[in-house]
Structure 1
Amino acid sequence: MTMTRTADEVARIGDEIYERDVRAQVEAEHQGEIVAIDIDSGCWGLGKNILEARERLDVALPEVNDVFLVRVGEKVIHRFGGRSPRGQQ
């Protein structure tokens, strides 16, 4: 599997597909789960983690190149670092 687009292109197209075609179908009942979207076909897989979502997408489309991953109800999949509690540095 090789990406054929830049990461920025994959993110932009994937976000458009998610907002237009996927979000309404998953948001109510799948908060926190992962969606893997093939940005060429719009086909997607849903799973409790990245591996499960990709496996479900790969069953439908084994030759996927550019995949966008999103956590339902979140802007990011993982957060790194943290924030100090209010008033502490």
Structure 2
Amino acid sequence: MAVRHPRYSKEEIARRGDEIYETQVRPQVETGNYGKIVAIDIETGAFEVADEILTATGSLFKRIPDAQPWIVRIGHRAVHRFGARSLKKTI
């Protein structure tokens, strides 16, 4: 497996990733995918949805070998669950 190196700072990856997720990806994936992982290429906006990080990023790298991924857990503030509060509305 090739070693991948980021071309952007952590801050720039986060800024671009959040912007793409909120403006382009979220409206397409939020319904019916609560808790799943979305891997987004911050350069192209291409994305993959899966149950696990490695599956989502692996699929993204198959499509775009040089992708610069940003990972989001749909409906959550954090990818990993360390007691973080969900964004899902409760009734």
State the TM-score, normalizing by the size of structure 2: 0.82
Whether 1:40 and 2:35 are equivalent positions in the alignment is no
> Which gives a bigger RCO, structure 1 or 2 (Cα 8 Å, sep 6+)?
1
Q: Which has the larger radius of gyration?
A: 1
CA separation of 1:35 and 1:81: change in aligned 2, threshold 3 A: closer
Superposition RMSD in Å: 1.4
Separation in structure 1 between the aligned mates of residue 35 and residue 82 of structure 2, nearest angstrom: 17
Q: Which runs of 4+ in 1 moved over 6 A?
A: none
Whether 1:71 and 2:73 are equivalent positions in the alignment is yes
State the TM-score, normalizing by the size of structure 1: 0.84
Query: How much does 1:81 deviate?
Result: 6.6
Give the counterpart letter for 1:11 in structure 2.
Answer: A
Whether 1:62 and 2:65 are equivalent positions in the alignment is yes
Percent sequence identity is 42
Q: Which runs of 5+ in 2 are unaligned?
A: 85-91
Whether 1:22 and 2:38 are equivalent positions in the alignment is no
Q: Which runs of 5+ in 1 are unaligned?
A: 83-89
Separation in structure 1 between the aligned mates of residue 6 and residue 40 of structure 2, nearest angstrom: 13
